Structure 1
Amino acid sequence: MIVGIGVDVVPVARFAATLERTPSLRDRLFTAGEQVTASGSPRTDESLAARFAAKEALAKALGAGGGMAWTDAEVRVDDVGRPSLAITGTVQARADSLGVTRWHISLSHDGGIAAATVIAEAD
């Protein structure tokens, strides 16, 4: 059963300018693992914007009005680049309260826009 669906889009240039203007924001929004690729290189602005869109989409899928920590949700990718969500803390508590047992996530960026869709599912 689908519990919620969230979609979000982020203008990459505006998001990158915000991160440049407020460098501490990077650590408030992203885990250390999200900030770098598997090889240890810094993620591109497009990739970070897509991850931020995923976190916004996740909050929408959970119907959350706030109170969840950004770093309690981490976007991960497997060896072939397929994204997934790892949740802890405040996000896990909200998901548990709704009975969420599975996540489906899609990320994209093109033409200066990053987008994400998140589906929260329960048994």
Structure 2
Amino acid sequence: MSLRGNQVASSPQPSLARSLASLPRDWGRQGVCGVGMDTVKISDFAAQLQMPGSTFSQVFTAQEQQVASLRPAPAASLAARWAAKEALVKAWSQALGPLPLPLPDSPAIWSQIEVVSDSVHRPRLVLSGEVLAAFSRTCPGAMCQVSLCHEDDFASAIVIVSGSGANPG
């Protein structure tokens, strides 16, 4: 898109046109099933990570911890990832309507929700174990989009679960 005087001229790049042509035919026509958002105060989160005997770091995969350790602000990186995990649970719960989340209330589930980044640092969620099985069963074919943000002393994430709808069975 370029600006010419007061007019906006739009000319998609060839690579963008190819990318759009490769999307599934029903992309964008599937409804939003659930939206979740979470915000974490980074300084409080960092203090929790440092508490003696804290098992909070166990909610992150080895890859999440490694990526965070390479960032200028590791606690902010982990806080944003924690917010994403919480936001996924909220979005998934919303997609299920009045039904309860089909997971045990266990610390072990949190490391089965992983935030990874692609080559240009766009985050995405990767589910595994019990979480993947339960999500696939209750929201077959659904997709999760995630966006992370950290500014000043706060980290936030939003997750959108989209697809043809939840399958509570």
The TM-score normalised by the length of structure 2 is 0.65
- Cα offset, 1:65, TM superposition: 7.6
* Partner SS state of residue 74, structure 1: strand
Hey, what does 1:45 align to over in structure 2? 75
Q: Distance in 2 between matches of 1:107 and 1:60?
A: 15
Hey, what does 2:13 align to over in structure 1? none
Q: Distance in 2 between matches of 1:120 and 1:92?
A: 14
Amino acid of the residue matched to residue 55 of structure 2?
A: S
- Cα offset, 1:23, TM superposition: 4.2
Q: Following superposition of structure 1 onto structure 2, how do residues 68-83 of structure 1 map, counting pairs within 5 Å? A: 69-83=109-123
CA contact (8 A) 1:54 1:107 kept: yes
Matched, 1:57 2:98: no
Gaps of 5+ in 1: none
CA contact (8 A) 1:10 1:53 kept: yes
Matched, 1:84 2:124: yes
Q: 1:53 to 1:77 in 2, by over 3 A?
A: same
Report the count of equivalent residues: 121
The TM-score normalised by the length of structure 1 is 0.88
Identity %: 37
- Cα offset, 1:89, TM superposition: 1.7
CA contact (8 A) 1:4 1:120 kept: yes
Q: 1:66 to 1:113 in 2, by over 3 A?
A: farther
* Partner SS state of residue 37, structure 1: helix
* Partner SS state of residue 126, structure 2: strand
Q: Distance in 2 between matches of 1:122 and 1:95?
A: 12
Q: Deviations over 1:9-37 (max 9, x none)?
A: 0000000000000443202x100000012
Q: 2:147 aligns with which of 97, 103, 106?
A: 106
The structure with higher relative contact order (CA 8 Å, sep 6+) is 1
Gaps of 5+ in 2: 1-30, 94-100, 165-169
CA contact (8 A) 1:9 1:53 kept: yes
Q: Deviations over 1:55-87 (max 9, x none)?
A: 000000110385260011100001111000110
CA contact (8 A) 1:5 1:60 kept: yes
- Cα offset, 1:3, TM superposition: 1.6
Q: 1:117 aligns with which of 134, 145, 158?
A: 158
CA contact (8 A) 1:62 1:94 kept: no
